[in-house]
Chain A
Amino acid sequence: MAKIAYYPGCALNERSSHLDRSARDATVKLGFELDELDTWTCCGAVPPVSEERVMNLVAPSRILKDVRDSGRDILITICDFCYNTLKRTNFSIKSDEIIRKRVNAFLADDTPERDYLEKDDSPWEDYAGEVKVIHLMEYLRDELGYDKITESLKRSLKGLKIAPYYGCVMLRPQNEIQLDDPENPAIIEDFITALDAQPVKYPYRTECCGSYLSVSSPDASTRLCYRILTSARNNGADAIVVSCPLCFYNLDSRQKAISEAYPDFTPLPIFYFTQLLSVALGVEFGRQGFEKHYVDVTPVLDKIASSTGKGDSE
């Protein structure tokens, strides 16, 4: 089975472990394995923009250099923040010679202390952005092909109306990320179609959910999420699908605060794309970590079970 270098990041390692596990389950069913890096650190979550903050690029660069040094050229991430940070760091290193030199100077300082890697007798070589950072969904679309998913489906999601939610950092800034059109993307819609479900069109799919404002200005985030969720609901969605742990947290857990602030609000289940994928590929419902969700997902699971006729029995 093909092994592909995989950077889980801190959220998937702990608080969003259900995203990690469903991704690993699903990819094994699809014939490749997510091979977690031997050593990795936090990527920093948000890339620095100003030129003074080159120091903040060192952690993501070290991760990328380790991948390059291990002889691999593709790195898969799932968390949108990690994807954005690693990809933009790579872009800075590739496109800006001064940044490249300064980052590599910091990385070179590491070398004497890298004994924890046990073997590091390879000659020092500058990291110049050789590793290609790709999102798992991007890998499914471009390398594996969505057709392969459709061929491997074990459960039917037919009739389910799923609203895609992109959020902010998965697509933007588009000149550096280049995953899809930032204003009119289709990657999640096509993914939903590949699962035999029906994508829902609604205007708020690329609107911000409040991101880290959930910590500093929770009320602002509540208002944003209310708009997104009601818009999806009013356009007929049974559920929303996301790929980012923070989008998931905001859209799912925040529904408690939304219900308190807006009496007319009806909860809407939220799924990670990997959960729907691994459910559709026949992995048991019990392995998806649905107990970590605030909003009850059973109405959607019942629909899947009734249209497939075997539910969780496999």
Chain B
Amino acid sequence: MSEKTGLAPSKSPPIRLTRETVNAGFKKRVDALSGQHTDACYQCGNCSSGCPLAQEMDILPNRILRLAQLGQSDDIINSCSIWICASCFQCTVRCPKGIDIQAVMDALRQIAMDEGIDHFGPDQISPELAASVPQPGLVGVYRKLAT
């Protein structure tokens, strides 16, 4: 997360593109899992401007899409953005290219979890919260953010 809460960093860190990383099949895997065509994204930024949680993210949704196109799997699965996404479908509704971006985010979470990265475990919830949050919240958080 950015140091100043409420502001995403103005630019992403530089990336090094190599034939190996771009062609390693990451994009294909994302497309296959999500059923979407990430190459359709032309970087209009509508997803990021409509995202209610963009301010909490380290990599904005449109940049996630670009990194996925370029096969930058490490940057994506180590970013907090995929775990901050609340699957609210705002980006999906607004994408002019019809990409279900929420499905892409779900695929990225699934890939990260396949790589052994869990975001939220049963030990991280306080007993008071566990006793008061309505069940959809509990079921949702563990289905989305933990293996």
A28 within 8 A of B: no
Contact B93 A174 (CB under 8 A): yes
Using a CB–CB cutoff of 8 Å, the interface residues on chain B facing chain A are 5-6, 32-35, 52-53, 55-56, 83-84, 86-90, 92-94, 100, 102-103, 106-107, 110, 119-120, 124-125, 129, 132-141, 143-145
Give 8 closest A-B pairs by Cβ, nearest first: A172-B89, A208-B88, A168-B88, A212-B140, A45-B139, A245-B134, A81-B136, A212-B141
Task: Kindly state the separation between the CA atoms of A211 and B83 in the bound complex, as whole angstroms.
Answer: 13
Q: Which of chain A's residues have a CB closer than 8 A to the CB of B103? A: 49-50
Question: A212-228: contact bitstring with B at CB < 8 Å (1 yes, 0 no)?
Answer: 11111111100110000
Q: B124 contacts which chain A residues (CB < 8 A)?
A: 216
List of B residues within 8 angstroms of A245 by Cβ: 134-136
Task: Check A183 against B140 for contact (C-beta < 8 Å).
Answer: no
- Which of A11-19, A101-109, A145-153, A193-201 is the interface stretch? A11-19
Q: When the two chains form their complex, are residues A172 and B88 in contact, meaning their CB atoms are under 8 A apart?
A: yes
The count of residues in chain A whose C-beta lies closer than 8 Å to any C-beta of chain B is: 49
Residues on A lying within 8 angstroms of B by beta carbon are 9-11, 14-16, 42, 44-46, 48-52, 56, 79, 81-82, 167-169, 172-174, 182-183, 206-208, 210-220, 223-224, 244-246, 248-249, 253
Q: Of A10, A169, A215, which is within 8 A of B141 by CB?
A: A215
Q: Are A213 and B86 in contact (CB under 8 A)?
A: yes
Q: Is the interface of B mostly helix, strand, loop or mixed?
A: helix
Count of inter-chain pairs, beta carbons less than 8 A: 146
Contact A216 B145 (CB under 8 A): yes
Contact, CB under 8 Å: A45 / B143 = yes
Greatest chain B CB density within 10 A among A15, A79, A167 is at A15
CB distance from A86 to the nearest CB of B (A): 13
Note all chain B residues with C-beta closer than 8 A to A81. 136, 140
Pairwise interchain contact B92-A50, C-beta atoms closer than 8 A: no
Contact (Cβ within 8 A) A46 B144: yes
Least distance between B45 CB and chain A CB atoms (Å): 17
A207/B120 contact (C-beta < 8 A), A46-B144, A50-B110, A168-B90 known: no
A215 to B121, CA, bound (A): 11
